[in-house]
Amino acid sequence: MKRVGVLALQGDFERHLAVLAALGRPGVEVRTPADLGRVGALIIPGGESTTLLKFFDADRWWGPLAGFARTRPVMGTCAGAILMASEVTHPPQPSLGLLPMTVERNAYGRQLDSFETDLKDHALGGGPLPAVFIRAPKILKAGEGVEVLARHRGRTVMARMGRHLALTFHPELTGDDRVHRYFLEVAANP
């Protein structure tokens, strides 16, 4: 399989590349739409979705990303998940619509702005899964065909539809590589 690309415009892309390298599967920085042609799967990291949207408009990412996602796997974390949703609220903003789900930005309020927790309700196996939430969104509703892979307090925080994965937390900050290994499996058998 071609290497996994990490969208390297803004946000936490370096830590994702570090996790992939530690797994013996070094990734590739994707900095221009043309770079998508060199990778077999893509990670859209957390960061600030509004900033990423400015890049998407300025450098004409929309068509190439939509085309890429039609046949290849994409994993979005936090801001990346916001960009993958079909509907964004608080406030509304454009998104790629790779999974039928509605996402509310900055949904945990000030006191819980950022927190770390161990997810017990998840499908990856191997016991509690550490997760870091940073100004995280909430998945308010998910449509038909969306598989829930992890929940926090009953609410979906990791979802899959076919070859696409969306999670509202940062898996690259915990030292636990299960989410990345899961995505590599998805990418190997999309």
Shortest approach of ligand GLN to residue 37 CB, angstroms? 26
**Quick check: is 48 catalytic?**
no
Which stretch in 29-37, 76-84, 94-102, 148-156 sits in contact with ligand GLN by CB under 6 A?
A: 76-84
Helix H, strand E, coil C: the string for 116-184 is EEEECEECCCCCCEEEEEECCCEEEEECCCCEEEEEECCEEEEEEECCEEEECCEHHHCCCCHHHHHHH
**Quick check: is 144 catalytic?**
no
Which stretch in 19-27, 45-53, 118-126, 158-166 sits in contact with ligand GLN by CB under 6 A?
A: 45-53
Question: For the sheet containing 101-104, what is the strand order?
Answer: 87-89, 101-104, 138-142
Shortest approach of ligand GLN to residue 89 CB, angstroms? 11
Binding residue for ligand GLN, selected from 5, 27, 47, 76, defined by CB under 6 A = 47
In terms of phi and psi (left: phi > 0; alpha: psi -120 to 50; beta: otherwise), the region of 68 is alpha
Helix axes 13-22 and 178-188, enclosed angle (nearest 10): 80
Which stretch in 46-54, 63-71, 117-125, 180-188 sits in contact with ligand GLN by CB under 6 A?
A: 46-54
**Quick check: is 78 catalytic?**
yes
Q: Is 109 helix (H, G, I), strand (E, B) or coil?
A: coil
Shorter beta-carbon distance to ligand GLN: residue 86 or 190? 86
Shorter beta-carbon distance to ligand GLN: residue 4 or 166? 166
Shorter beta-carbon distance to ligand GLN: residue 4 or 83? 83
Shorter beta-carbon distance to ligand GLN: residue 16 or 105? 105
Angle at 107 between CA 105 and CA 109, to 5 degrees: 130
Look at the block and give the residue holding tokens 């998910």: 142
Catalytic residues: 78, 170, 172
> Which residues are at the interface with ligand GLN (CB under 6 A)?
46-49, 78-79, 82, 105-106, 134-135
